[in-house]
Amino acid sequence: MIPSRRGDPVPPTPEDATPTGFVGLGVMGHPMALNLVRAGTPLVVWNRTAPRAESLRAAGAEVADSPAEVFRRCRTVFLMLADEAATDAVLARGTREFARRVAGRTLVVTGTNPPAYARALEAEVREAGGAYVEAPVSGSRVPAEAGELVAMLAGGAEDVARVRPLFAPLCKETFVCGGAAPQALLMKLAVNLFLITTVTGLAESFHLAARHALDLPQFLAILEAGPMASPVSRTKSPKLLARDFAPQATIEDVLKNNRLIAEAARASGAASPLLDACHALYGETFAGGFGREDMVAVVRALEGRAGETPAASGDRSP
């Protein structure tokens, strides 16, 4: 299907007069919600950690006291949540309240969940009288802030058409990947496999250059002058050089994605030798207490294998 690009004309939707809900204001959710507000979308937001919502309030969003309030006031609700447990809690899944929250609403689920979980949740939402659009995004904090994400959508054709205009301030492109979950999630996992192996390869090549005491700025300049230059390398290379591990995509999140990709590979019988090697390295980095650092901190695992003493982290996982 032809992708939607920023600047394409979008039709009006019947929900234009009602606010949109956004639940989950973490590393990705906060800039996504902020871009919606800045684009003039009436927004009602909620976050478990309330102070995260204050900058949204200042930008013009309304801050709800609870997830229940978001669902009462909004017909379309974005969920950008960390995992299945957080999603179930927000939806009150497994209780009578679940049907009250989702009936007549369209859920736009942008987080990365296990495909089997997404399939089951979609069925429950539809059975309760709601609509479900799976909408994982490709990109980390920086493209989220810039409105340069790429969204992969799956759901009923009318449901996708209704919510797709909302992605204009969030994404440079959106792609419809199928008519039901988990087609978009599986596409996201395939994309993330390439991303993870690419960043790990960049860290490994940087570590090799460092071990040989090469001129590291020159090494990175040569990379950027060659055919391997990309937005990913331009973002991650300076972080490696400066040992800037402030998170854009955390080790913990990458390890979660690694696990989901491995499960999808096993389910299909696909071989995943590069992923398996990356999984071990990110696992070692996480075990070292660096789960909240950016994914380029995987270089710490490489340094550890080389017998180097790991540096202390300013932001360690518990």
Contacts of 187 (CB under 8 A, 6+ apart): 136, 152, 175, 177
Distance (Å, whole) CA 80 – CA 17: 23
Question: What 3-state class would DSSP assign to 21?
Answer: strand
In the block, which residue shows the tokens 């300049």?
Answer: 221
Tell me the backbone φ, ψ of residue 238, rounded to 5 degrees: -60, -30
CA distances from 143 to 53, 78, 117, 164, 245 (A): 20, 18, 27, 18, 17
Catalytic residue at 188? Answer: yes
Joined tokens for residue 231 = 């937005």
Contacts of 37 (CB under 8 A, 6+ apart): 43, 56, 59, 60, 61
Give residue 169's identity as a one-letter amino acid code.
Answer: P
Catalytic residue among 188, 236, 239, 256: 188
Distance (Å, whole) CA 164 – CA 9: 11
In the block, which residue shows the tokens 């039709």?
Answer: 11
List, by residue number, the catalytic residues. Answer: 188
